[in-house]
Structure 1
Amino acid sequence: MFKTLATLINGQNARAEDRVRDAFAIELIDQKIRESEGSLRAAKSTLASLIQRQRAEEKQHNALRARISDLTTRAQEALESDREDMAAEAARAIATMENELTVRAETLNRLDQKVLRLRSSIETGHRRIIDLKQGAIQARAVRREQSIQMQMVKTGATHGSVEEAEELIQRVLGRDDPFERTEILADINHELEGGTITDRMADAGFGGATRSTADDVLARLKSSKK
């Protein structure tokens, strides 16, 4: 029972955390970008220190090689002048410097490797931050679109509302014209009262005319000109 409750509580906490992360996703992205940029700045500072140390080590290494070369020449000249005592002293100094040169060469090699690895890591981190910033721009665009969609839902400007409005418009436009309805009713009443058959018989020449025709108007016009 206790394990079941613990599982449910953990699941609820996880869902709550997901909701918070979704709600503040843009802010979290910006924060992670700032943290990444901070780490990148620290890495660049470390790289600068390593390069500075590397250059100093190279200078000391080159200076030591020059001293060894110079002292070797002097020792050879001492031997040629039968000053073996000075040549031996120079040889001891050269041996010490050669040992130091070996240590400095190893140190310089390790620095070269560290600089190379750190430079590669910085370049990779820089590209990833650029990708993150591009992703953040896309995320903001999506969030704005979602916000607009939510606003449309709140204001009722949804697909269902549009269809409902269109249906109402069609209902209004599809209603019968009351004036046309009145005219049709008048015609029906006229037919029921026998008016229509009377007019047709009068037009056929049976009985007097019940209405004025174009022929009547034309005949009247001709007679008025005589």
Structure 2
Amino acid sequence: MFATIKTLILGIDARAEDRLTDTYAIELIDQKVRSSELDLTHAKQALAGLIQKSRMETRQLDTVTARIVDLVERARAALAEDRQDLAQTAATAIAELENEQAMRRRTVDMLEQRVLQLRQSVETRHRRLIDLKQGAIAAQATRKAQGAHTDIMRNGGAADTLGEAEALIRRVMSAEDPFEQSEILKDIETGLSHGAVADDLADAGFGAPTRSTAADVLARLATKD
């Protein structure tokens, strides 16, 4: 039973941690970006220091090599003049310098190998940091879009407003026109009373006029003058 309770508690804690991570995902991404930038800066500084040390060791190796070449020539010249004492001294110095040369060459090789490895690491970190920054921009844009969609869904928002406006337009456009309706009713009443028949006959000159016309009005005005 205790194992079951422990499992449930761990599950609850995991879900709570997931919710917390989702809530502050953008902030966490920004923090990771800053941390990665700082790590990359330190790696670049370490690479620069390693390259500088490698160059210094290379210069010292070149100096030792040049001294060996110089002493070898001098020792040969001493041997040619049968100066065994000077040739012996030169040979001792040459042997010591050759040992130093071998040691410095191993150091230079080791430093060059480390420079190569660290340079590759810096380049990889640099590419990953670029990808991380682009991902952060995409994540921020996605989060903003999600927030806008959530607000719309929570408040009804633009979707409900547009729907209400469309419903009002349909209601206005489908409403009956009272003027048109009155004209239709008038035509119906006229037809039922056969008043239109008398009007048609009067207009044709059969019987007294049933309604005033513009010609009647002009004739009446002329008579008054």
TM-score tier after normalising by the smaller chain length: 0.7 to 0.9
* CA distance in structure 1 between the partners assigned to 2:57 and 2:196 by the alignment: 123
* CA distance in structure 2 between the partners assigned to 1:55 and 1:75 by the alignment: 30
Q: Counterpart of 1:136?
A: 136
Q: Which amino acid aligns with 2:37?
A: E
| Residue 67 of structure 2 is aligned to residue 67 of structure 1 | yes
Q: Which moved more, 1:112-121 or 1:145-154?
A: 145-154
* 1:200 Cα offset (Å): 5.8
Contact 2:79/2:87, CA 8 A, preserved across alignment: yes
Q: Counterpart of 2:40?
A: 40
* 1:196 Cα offset (Å): 5.2
Q: Counterpart of 2:78?
A: 78
Q: Counterpart of 1:147?
A: 147
Count of residues in correspondence between the two structures: 224
* CA distance in structure 2 between the partners assigned to 1:181 and 1:4 by the alignment: 78
Q: Which amino acid aligns with 2:129?
A: I
* CA distance in structure 1 between the partners assigned to 2:57 and 2:45 by the alignment: 18
Q: Counterpart of 1:119?
A: 119
Q: Which moved more, 1:37-46 or 1:65-74?
A: 65-74
Q: Counterpart of 1:87?
A: 87
Contact 2:57/2:108, CA 8 A, preserved across alignment: yes
* CA distance in structure 2 between the partners assigned to 1:149 and 1:55 by the alignment: 59
* CA distance in structure 2 between the partners assigned to 1:2 and 1:81 by the alignment: 98
* CA distance in structure 2 between the partners assigned to 1:90 and 1:69 by the alignment: 11
Aligned to 1:176, what secondary structure does the other structure show? coil
Q: Cα deviations across residues 33-74 of structure 1 (Å, max 9, x unaligned)?
A: 111111111111111111121111112111111221222222
Q: Counterpart of 1:20?
A: 20
Per the normalisation by structure 1, the TM-score is 0.80
* CA distance in structure 2 between the partners assigned to 1:67 and 1:110 by the alignment: 23
Q: Counterpart of 1:177?
A: 177
Aligned to 2:34, what secondary structure does the other structure show? helix
* CA distance in structure 2 between the partners assigned to 1:62 and 1:144 by the alignment: 61
Change (3 A) 1:70 1:204: closer
Q: Which amino acid aligns with 1:60?
A: Q
Q: Which moved more, 1:176-185 or 1:81-90?
A: 176-185
* 1:198 Cα offset (Å): 5.6
Change (3 A) 1:4 1:168: farther
Contact 2:71/2:94, CA 8 A, preserved across alignment: yes
Change (3 A) 1:203 1:141: same
Q: Counterpart of 2:9?
A: 9
Change (3 A) 1:8 1:192: farther
Q: Equivalent residues in 2 for 1:42-61 (5 A)?
A: 42-61=42-61
* CA distance in structure 2 between the partners assigned to 1:13 and 1:174 by the alignment: 58
* CA distance in structure 1 between the partners assigned to 2:63 and 2:104 by the alignment: 11
Q: Which amino acid aligns with 2:61?
A: H
* Cα RMSD (Å): 3.1
Contact 2:152/2:159, CA 8 A, preserved across alignment: no
Q: Which moved more, 1:128-137 or 1:29-38?
A: 128-137
| Residue 166 of structure 2 is aligned to residue 166 of structure 1 | yes
Aligned to 1:168, what secondary structure does the other structure show? helix
What stretches of structure 1 of length at least 5 have no aligned partner? none
